Chains A and B, each alone.
Chain A
């Protein structure tokens, strides 16, 4: 059941980012309800990663702003950073360190008190199913294990909003389902809002409560996966929805740089 009275975890206000003449994100207005799993769906180059980078304070907006977990990304970037978790598309766990050492670094950077540190790390490792591998170097992990470790790192400080940029890119179907399952469980347990970007329709369909379909830096359609499909035809897929609203296929789009980054991540995790 949707709860429209839930406070907004993210609210963007004419959020815009330009790179020279290119408008990567054009005056985006979107609200993400607290406690939902929200998906930004679109092909490479649609502006999904740029949006996430602005919401996580990595990239300043050219115009407009957003409130994330109750704080303005422009004026209160430090407060935003304390309240969010982020797993970038690129591999962010350090391969030369063990799982525990990676988590320990996160615990210190997020000011988790020393007394609580050990228990939190043990809990996170068990929750993500990494107990066996906790003391092995991350370079020996499978792609799915690396992603689960990165989730554990990003959630160690119990963020209000978790941002994931293409969380299952390069993973095989079993590993993908394991990541989804852990995400759903974390959302339930920690009442956390999750914002993901994806160009994978199955992921958008199965995981997300609500979707914003991005095309050319704009939100072309917005709603629950079921409602979006219903709006096109009774048996429509999200690709049909996308074709309707954007006049293109999800497989199109993306620059050389996007492709390079995607393949690099896929190679590292695969």
Chain B
């Protein structure tokens, strides 16, 4: 004879001791759980952090040094290297985050997406968790690039406030572009199409921005396009925060406002499209 223990909670009564908390606390707890898993994976295999550092190093060391000498790009009182360092940081955030959506396609080929979507966590909290992880991932890049910039003699502001601001803006940028990538992944659903679109998007986003040359140098039509490019606002915010007297193309409040609004919009779109990937 086997002892039968019947746990009443399974019969339909709500379980006592559920950690419910307020909506916001619950949202953050779910997002935190997703972000923690993503970060664990990153730290377990940090080769990605190192390989991702190669490209921005080349931009700063090769491209930056050469163009600083040629003085072909007017950057006012700043050296070209000072001017481009925040641009390279923003570029690195973009390039790291824009392929982030491939993970959701992997998770779809496994059954992980199904497991997450059947849980009581809201879709928004799941997408936000992934964005948070991408933001922290971008931050690892930022640490490396800021250190390299200091070594190369870029006049980086040292105050805790400005460095903290850079960290927050980098995270916001990483969250924004990774969620953009997530939305694309949910729409195209296959790896091949996703990689194609990712390749097609990165270069226009990069060149139609103020990352390596000022808006004032662009033909009028391109400058107008750049005004609709979130990367322009990310670069502008990083320039204001990183450099003393940095030639920002808009105020920091405008930059952060635009970045945050675009992120929230993409987050809501992502949450809406996410269930479609499990069908």
Using a CB–CB distance below 8 Å, which chain A residues touch chain B?
7, 34, 53, 56-59, 69-70, 78, 81-84, 86, 88-92, 94, 96-97, 101, 104-106, 108-114, 116, 153, 158-160, 188-192, 264, 268
Contacts and interface: CB of A to CB of B under 8 A. Distances in A.
Given A81-B120, A109-B121, A110-B119, A190 B7 contact: yes
A82 B120 contact: yes
A90 B33 contact: no
Interface of B: 2, 4-7, 9-12, 15, 17-20, 26, 29-30, 32-34, 37, 40-41, 44, 109-112, 114-122, 275, 278-279
Nearest to B121: A109
B4 to A, nearest CB: 6
Nearest to A69: B12
B44 to A, nearest CB: 7
Contacts of A105: 33-34, 37
Contacts of A69: 12
Given A86-B114, A90-B109, A91-B111, A58 B279 contact: yes
Contacts of A83: 12
Contacts of A111: 18-20, 26, 29, 120
B33 to A, nearest CB: 4
A264 B106 CA distance: 13
Contacts of B40: 97, 101
Given A113-B18, A158-B9, A264-B109, A153 B118 contact: no
Contacts, number: 108
A268 B111 CA distance: 11
A201 B178 CA distance: 45
A57 B118 contact: yes
B20 A86 contact: no
Contacts of B122: 78
A7 B13 CA distance: 14
Given A101-B37, A113-B18, A158-B9, 5 more contacts: A58-B117, A78-B122, A82-B120, A92-B115, A109-B116
A97 B37 contact: yes
Contacts of B19: 111-114
Given A58-B279, A109-B33, A158-B7, A94 B118 contact: no
A109 B33 CA distance: 7
B239 to A, nearest CB: 38
Given A108-B33, A191-B11, A113 B115 contact: no
Contacts of B15: 158
Given A82-B120, A105-B37, A94 B112 contact: yes
Contacts of A110: 119-120
